[in-house]
Structure formats: C-alpha cells, structure tokens
Chain A
Amino acid sequence: MDEKGLDISRRHREPITDTQLLLTITICIFVCMYVAAILIWGGGFKKPQMLFDILNDNAYLVIISCGLTIVMITGSIDISVAGVTALVAMTGVMILNGSMPFFSVLQASLGLADSSRIVFAALMALLIGLLFGLVQGYLIAYLEIQPFIITLAGMFFARGMITILSVDPQKAPQALLDILQKRIEINWLGSPNKNGVIIPARMEVGVVIAILIVILVFCMLRKMRIGRSFYAVGGNRQSALMLGLNVRKTRFMAHLFCGILSGIAGFVFMMHTGAGNATNATAGEMNAIASSIIGGTLLTGGVGNVIGTFFGVLTLSTIKAIVTTSGLRDPWWQSITTGAMLCLFILLQSVILMRRHRNKH
C-alpha cells in the first residue's frame, strides 16, 4: 500500500544538521530561562505584558540581527548596522518635526498634510539603508576589502552624520507620534491591575514589522535561490565557485539586504522612541552579533538561522529583564551576566562543533 518514496522519507529521520542543533539548544535555553523566571521571580514575568515589553523594546534589534545573520551566514560581518539604525532614526525624527528644510518645502509645494511626513521618513529610511548596503557591499564584494574595516568606517560615518545633522536631541511632534505609536491591544492576554481592571496586553506596530521580517527572511533563506547561495558561499567559498555560483554577487546581495534591514530597523526604532539622539542604539551592533551567535549563527559562515537569531534577541533581553527584576538593579550585572551567557554559548558551540568534526574522522 505504501508508496516507496513516502516510505523512505517516513522511516528515515534525518540526523539533525548543525543549524538545527544549535537552534534547538537556543530555544531550549530560552524556554527554560523564561519558565525559571516565572517560577522564581513570578511577579512581572507571570504577565504576558512582560514578554510584549521585551519585544517592544527590542523590535529594532530583531531586525538588525536578521540582517547581520544574513551577512554572517555568508562568512562576512557588518558592524555599521546600529550606526545606520541611529542615523535613520535621527533623520526620520527631523523630517517629522520639520527641521529638514528640503522635506518641509517639498511637503508645502505638494500641499500635503503633516502626516505625509511619515511617508517621507519611511522612504528616507529605506534610501539610507539601501545606500549603505550598496556602497559597503560593492567595496567588500567587488573590491575585496576586509568587511570589518569597511563597515567600521560605515559605523563612523553614520555616527558622525548624526551629530552633523543635529547635536541636540530631537523630538518628533506629539501629533505624529500618536499615529506612529498606536499599539495593538490584545484583550485576552491582558492581566488585571491593582484595582482588578483588566489591562489589555499592548504590542507596538514595530513588533509586527519585526516578526514579519523574521518570517520573510526565514523564507528567503530557505526557499529562495539567493538564500541558499548565502549558505553555500559561507560554507565554502571555493566550492561555491566550483558549483557555478556567482560568489561576488552573492556577497554583495547579503550586504545589500543587511543595509536595507538596518534602514527599516531605524524606522522601527524611531516609532518606538520618537526621538533622535546621538547615543541611539549604542553598542547595538555588538548586541546584534551576540544575538546571532546565541541564536546559533557561526561567524565562520555557512551555519545560521533567523529563528535562532530571534530567540537570541529574546534570550539576551530576558537575561537583562531577569537581572533587573531580581533586585540586582545595578546596571553592571546586566552586562556581566550577558557576558557570562555569551561565554557559555560560545564555548558550548565550539565544543559541540569540535566533537562533531572529530567524530567524522
């Protein structure tokens, strides 16, 4: 009765791949940690809002980590991501509050309402991200310059541009912020406050964008030819060339995607904070790298998964939340536990991969 082909695929459960193994570990650790937090510290962790708060605060980080994961899968790196995010946020806020003359004039000449500035800001975000991606990608892929140096320069440029635009922090007008910061209220996940009134769980639009991007990138990495090329190029550049892939173009595309995602992240960041500041998203690039690593992406390339990265961001931010709620309010505990966690993950990965490698011989 069984068809032979079906039979084979059912009977043989494939041994899990490196990517899947590292992903599983990450998800397990995150779940264990969250459950432990609920059991030990209870309080805020019992409410779903805690999870939503974590997501609201870190939506932008999810997006730049996705971009970084793509780049890391190809065996490259981009440390300009947070700089671009901050630059986009600053530009966006300045468009919104009308301190960018060009856009104000444009708006006036077209006779558009103030809310049209949001569209300008969004377009500008994409444009900046695209430009960074194009230039960095070209220099790295076609001129074969070290990605670290180029994207470091990108970071310097972005951070420098922010203060050239405005030294003082900028604030978006409240009217426009009200539109941007509209939250999605989920009643059934709400929890009662002190007076017993059910407060619905609130989620920002940025989170929806971030999750959409995670899904889109996941599909691209899995289903699209270009996505599979990223893995091939990262796994073994020489082999990829022999298999007939355009290695240069593939690396270029990875940086291009990363740039665009950084731009989108900037817009999401602006939606969340509504303010432009020189210190926006400070050290975001390192948080993004850490998230990707915790999520099972290897800096050596070829192995990685955006779902893992998503959980990587959640793990990192949950550690911070736990440290804060457990009474260790001093900020140093956050980074020390983050560092310890990172150390654990890095060692774990290196030992697992070393052992796998040895078994093969």
Chain B
Amino acid sequence: MKDDIILTMRGICKSFPGVRALNNVDFTLRRGKIHALMGENGAGKSTLIKVLTGVYSMDGGEIRIEGHDSPIIIRSPQEAQNYGISTVYQEISLCPNLTVAENLYIGRDTSSTVDWKTREKKAGELLEGLGIPARPRQQLGSISLAVQQMVAIARAVDTDCKVLILDEPTSSLDDNEVEMLFRLMRDLKTRGVGIVFVTHFLEQVYEVSDQITVLRNGELVGEYEVDKLPQVELVSKMIGKTLDELSTIKNKKAPSGEAEVLYEAEELSSTESKKFDFHIDKGEVNGFTGLLGSGRSESVRAIFGADQVTGGIIRIHGKKVQITKPIDAMKNGIGYLPEDRKRDGIIADLSVRDNIILALQVLRGMGHPISRQNADAFADEYIKALNIKTASRETPVGSLSGGNQQKVILARWLLTHPEYLILDEPTRGIDVGTKAEIQRLVLKLAEEGVSVTFISSEIEEMLRTCSRLIVMRDRNIVGELTGADLTQERVMSTIVGRGDDHE
C-alpha cells in the first residue's frame, strides 16, 4: 500500500501580505488514482497547486516525490516538469497559432531542424493512442477548448509525467466534452499516472475521483474516500461552519412583506446568464448562493448590465427603466463590487483617492470634476470610516493588501450613496477581521435603508447577513429560502438538489 504513494506534501505553509493562504496543509497522491482537490474561492487550492508547480515558493513544509529519497525543492515550472509534475491550466498555455503536432513537441526537440513527417506521424500515434479527436496538422486555435485541453494533457503524458495536475479543466466545457475528458483521465489512470483534479463541480468529482481532499480558508479539512462521503457532507465540509468570532453578527430582520419593492426584474437575461426573475425590497439583504459556476455571479452581472443584456423588463421603484450598460445601473442608484477585484475592480496604478472617487466622478459627468480638496476629504473620510490601512491617500491602490483593496472599492460605491448595492464575493481572499467588518457594514447599510445583494462562497456568512437566499444550480434558480428555512442543511440540500431527504 505504501509503495503506491507517489507524492506527499506535509505541513505546507504560505502567506501573502495580510493573508495566510495555506496553513499546515497535507496532501497525498497515489499511483493510478484521481484525487480531487476541493474548496471554495480563497480556500487555498490554487495556492497549493502553485506551490507544487514551483510558481510560488513555500514558507514551510516539505514535498516528497517517488524516486527521490530526500524532500525536493521546486523553484520553477520547468523544474516541476523535470520531477515529472505536469500541469494543465484552465487557461490553456499552448500556442493557438501553431498546429497540434507542433504544440506537442515544440520546446522539447533537440535537433535544429523540424522533421514534419515523423513529427506528425508520432503526434498522430500519440493522439490516437489516447483517443483524442484531433489531427496533427490542425491549427490549435481552430479546435474546441476541450480538445485543446486534451492536447495539453497529451503533451504532459508524452513527457512521462508521474503527477498530472488538472486545474479546473471542465469549467468551460459542455457535457459531451467533459465525458471525453473523463474517458481520457480514466485511461491515464490505468497507465499509473496520479491525477490531481481541481474542480468545483460536485457531480464530476463523484463521477471520476477516487479520493477527495477538502481545503477551507487555507486549512486542511480532511482527506476522504469518495464512496464514504455523501455529497451533502462534502458541501458542508467545503462551506460549513466558520470561526466563532463572527457569530455575533446576525441579520434580525425578517422580510415583512410591507417594505416597498426597490428593484424588480422579469425574465432578465444576458449573454452569460439564462432568463431569471428577481426582486429586492428597500433595506433588504438577500443573496445568491450556489457553488462556483452555478451562475450566481452572472446573474448579478446581468442586473448591473456588466455583460451584454439580451432581454428582460426592469422596474425600479415600480417605474420601468432600461439598464443595458453599467452607467445606466449607476444612474439608477445601483453599485456593483465585482468578483474579480484585480481584473474588474481596482485601477492598480492610480492612488487610493482616485480609486475612491471614481464612481462618483463618473456619475457627476465629465464636465464636473470633484475638486482636489473635496476628493481628499472624501478619501480621508472613507479611509477612516472603513479603516483602510494605507500609507496615504496618494498610495497606488495596487500596493495595498487584498482586504484593503476591497475596502477601497467598497468606499468607491458607498461614496455614490447607492440605493442598491451588489457585492459579489466581497470577503474573498481577505482576513477574518476584515470579513467581519464588511459583514457588519452590510447590516448597517441595510438598517439605513440600502438594499444589498450579497454573494459569498461561505454559507455561514450568507446566513448571517441575508434575510432571503436565492439558490442556483446549473445557471438556473432552483429555490428561494427565507425565515425558518435559512439553515445550513436546507441550503446545502437545495444546492445538491435532493430536497430534505438526505440519506
């Protein structure tokens, strides 16, 4: 049994400024097994993978791999490959402008000329052997993402890898493509490759995996055999209880049915989301829940007009309005804190001040700049109010820690005094103290009459702050929970889709 282990990671620690990304995490991979690595955003999955592939250096712990007696140190992706650890990322790291065969062999050949004939023949045999439906001479960019992914896997396999890491390989694939990928994974299994499978789709985990390791908040929750862990239990391990220091926060308000409806959407849809109905009362805090990829973020993006809106009727204060792009939403008193802070939120090189006043400035229009004095005053006010830790208001926001960046974006929207605030994962990847602050702030806003839609990967957090939860699965709304139904068990069983009768 012991001989089957090909990779062990023990006591892995990794910190970033302000966040403890991994705390004493263990991970074990066995020959010919598919090992799922599960956890919500900020749980530390990707950090663990990056430590293993040499993208990050670890602060503590040791990695052992079969064939080496002493612990190994991995300094770069190249070194990881030399140890037999190959990774296939969600964003494909192949060259789309080259052919399939070239992508398989470029960077590995030793002769200075390219023998296209033998290369294509070898590629053809490799692809055929693995049952990958790609032809060697096709341009990589012209084939589907799923097949591109399989080509990347083929390349990894051909380099004699022992450990194959698949980082969210299925997130942009349809059912047939996923099936193709699974067939390939099972095939590799029989060849003795150990596969680390990172995903957030529960069904897929149960379909192919042998073991599951669950991480939460950078800590190891445990390692389980798939057949001994029911789905509901897995969900509860992923998003279940959190730290006690937050337990004082509680939304006491129950939806009374008397409050005025602030925002109402009928059959709203965008290029990224399916049709859905939604409404929120004045001063209500509600939430979209569901696992990653369930369409929760896409739904709120549609409300804000962040993706191209394709249809639907929207009423605010009962009056019909048109919201097709972000500026429309902003003019109607809606604010949106995006899920991906780096990509969609901060303007990294600009100062904290400029980042704070940006939304208000846009609302006031190009011809009415906020005076330097006022801007400074606004910035100082919110730096103080939200307790933003920054050297000065002139500091580029990119140099702040994640939590403080998030607070800057919050400040940006609070400054516009929105009637309706959408917060998509405001607590992702930030420390516990800041999380509590943000949750308290949400409740305070609600008391002041602001409506808030809150999305979080941690169910506890949502149960505390929201008085109504909308549950999503596979891009559809599958349930709406209020009052007494707002319990962890209820939410999880709705997510999994089994009603109350969990066996």
Contact = CB atoms under 8 A, between A and B. Distances in A.
Q: Do A and B come into direct contact in the complex, CB within 8 Å?
A: yes
A328 B96 CA distance: 45
B138 A239 contact: no
B118 to A, nearest CB: 12
Interface in A154-179: none
B112 interface: yes
A259 to B, nearest CB: 21
B115 to A, nearest CB: 9
B97 A235 contact: yes
Contacts of B138: 14-15
B441 interface: no
Contacts of A224: 112-114
Nearest to A224: B113
A22 to B, nearest CB: 12
B107 A243 contact: yes
6 smallest CB-CB distances across A and B, nearest first, come from A244-B107, A235-B97, A235-B95, A243-B107, A302-B97, A242-B93
Contacts of A225: 109, 111-114
A248 to B, nearest CB: 14
B107 A245 contact: yes
Contacts of B92: 239
Contacts of A240: 95, 107
A303 B139 CA distance: 12
Nearest to A12: B135
A263 B393 CA distance: 54
Contact of B142 (A5, A15, A236, A245): A15
B112 A239 contact: no
Interface in B177-236: none
A222 to B, nearest CB: 8
A18 interface: yes
A17 B139 contact: yes
Interface string A31-68: 00000000000000000000000000000000000000
A86 to B, nearest CB: 33
Given A17-B99, A243-B94, 15 more contacts: A14-B135, A17-B97, A17-B139, A17-B142, A18-B141, A226-B112, A234-B97, A236-B93, A238-B93, A239-B93, A239-B95, A243-B95, A243-B103, A243-B106, A360-B142
25 contacts: A5-B121, A5-B124, A9-B137, A12-B135, A14-B139, A15-B138, A15-B139, A17-B99, A17-B139, A18-B97, A222-B114, A223-B114, A225-B109, A225-B113, A225-B114, A228-B106, A231-B97, A235-B96, A235-B98, A238-B93, A240-B95, A244-B107, A244-B108, A302-B97, A360-B141
A9 to B, nearest CB: 8
Contacts of A243: 93-95, 103, 106-107
Nearest to B94: A239
B84 interface: no
A353 to B, nearest CB: 11
Interface of A: 5, 8-9, 12, 14-15, 17-19, 222-229, 231-232, 234-236, 238-240, 242-245, 302-303, 360
Contacts of B114: 222-225, 227-228
B124 A8 contact: yes
Interface in B97-137: 97-99, 102-103, 106-109, 111-114, 116, 121, 124, 135, 137
B78 interface: yes
A18 B139 contact: yes
B77 interface: yes
B106 A229 contact: yes
A240 B142 CA distance: 18
Given A243-B106, A244-B78, A232 B95 contact: yes
A239 B141 CA distance: 13
Contacts of B137: 9, 14
Contacts of A226: 112
Interface string B391-434: 00000000000000000000000000000000000000000000
Contacts of A8: 124, 135
A228 B98 contact: yes
Contacts of B77: 242
Contacts of B141: 18, 360
Contact of A231 (B78, B93, B98): B98
A144 to B, nearest CB: 19
Nearest to A14: B137
B422 to A, nearest CB: 25
Which among B97, B124, B139 has the greatest number of chain A C-beta atoms within 10 A? B97
Contacts of A9: 137
A201 B116 CA distance: 39
A169 to B, nearest CB: 44
A238 B89 CA distance: 13
A332 B92 CA distance: 48
B102 to A, nearest CB: 6
A173 B49 CA distance: 70
B417 to A, nearest CB: 38
A200 to B, nearest CB: 39
A5 B106 CA distance: 22
Interface string B341-369: 00000000000000000000000000000
